[in-house]
Amino acid sequence: MALVVASVILPLACGGQERPTPVPTAEVVHQIPWGEREEAIYRVLRGESVVGRGVISLQREGRVLIISQDFTDARGRFRDVVKASVDAATLRPQVVERVLTGPEGERRWRAQYEDGRVRVFQESDGDTRTDELVVPLVSYDSWSDIALWRTMPLAYGFRASYMGVGTAILRKPATAIITVEVVSKEAVIVPAGTFQAWRVQVRNGHEVQTVWMADLPQRPVVRYDNGTYVFELEELR
């Protein structure tokens, strides 16, 4: 597997404009559906083959929510660990840290949001780089998207747009307009069970991904299809 699993789990905000596009920006967080701590275990498929596994966890620490992702490929060659710290009530981004480990070594990122800007520092063996990007006051880091979608008022016909910011990626940080739209409710069968779930399309320009969120108070993501890989829930605790 040439690409680390977790590096493609939330890529929608990574290919937009380097300067914010002037669009109406509004809060999209409607309600917080999780408790103080949550952990979801996923298998990752490409076609019929399981190519990786990982854990996405949420941990509230006072006024801060820590959104963590830890994914490895099936052969154990790659590991991708991301920790995004956001405001627990609004999901406004604060800090993102990422460590990507593979046969070629280790690369680290740290993205710091402050005063309408995000500063991204990354380093690997013998190489360092710092980028800075102006971001709108109301914007969300792409590494928090999988939690952000769960906070929206899901219902037939629901549609919303927001400004996403791609940080801790292999390219320069960038912004993109992300549109979320509920298209149906359907039964979804995954290793964790059978769920009635909202099928939601997430768009960045012509790129479309699909996420299924169970119609439960916690609204867990039970399946996620980014066009290349499919993530299926194995266990929620």
pLDDT tens digit sequence for 110-139:
999 999 999 999 999 889 999 999 999 899
Residue-level pLDDT at 233:
98
pLDDT tens digits, 65-97 = 999 999 999 999 999 999 999 999 999 999 999
Residue 1 pLDDT exceeds 90: no
Question: Who has greater pLDDT, 205 or 232?
Answer: 232
Distances in whole angstroms, Cα of residue 56 to Cα of each of 37, 120, 145:
11, 23, 12
pLDDT tens digits, 150-200 = 999 999 999 999 999 999 998 899 999 999 999 999 999 999 999 999 999
Residue 80 near residue 5 (C-beta atoms within 8 A): yes
Residue-level pLDDT at 25:
61
Mean pLDDT for all residues in the chain: 90
Exposure class string for 59-77: b at 16+ Cβ within 10 A, else e? eeeeeebbbbbbbbbbeee
Residue 16 pLDDT exceeds 80: no
Phi, psi of 91 (to 5 degrees): 65, 20
Q: What mean pLDDT is predicted for residues 20-41?
A: 82
Residues forming a β-bridge with 199: 184, 212
Residue-level pLDDT at 4:
38
Residue 6 pLDDT exceeds 50: no
Residue 22 pLDDT exceeds 60: no
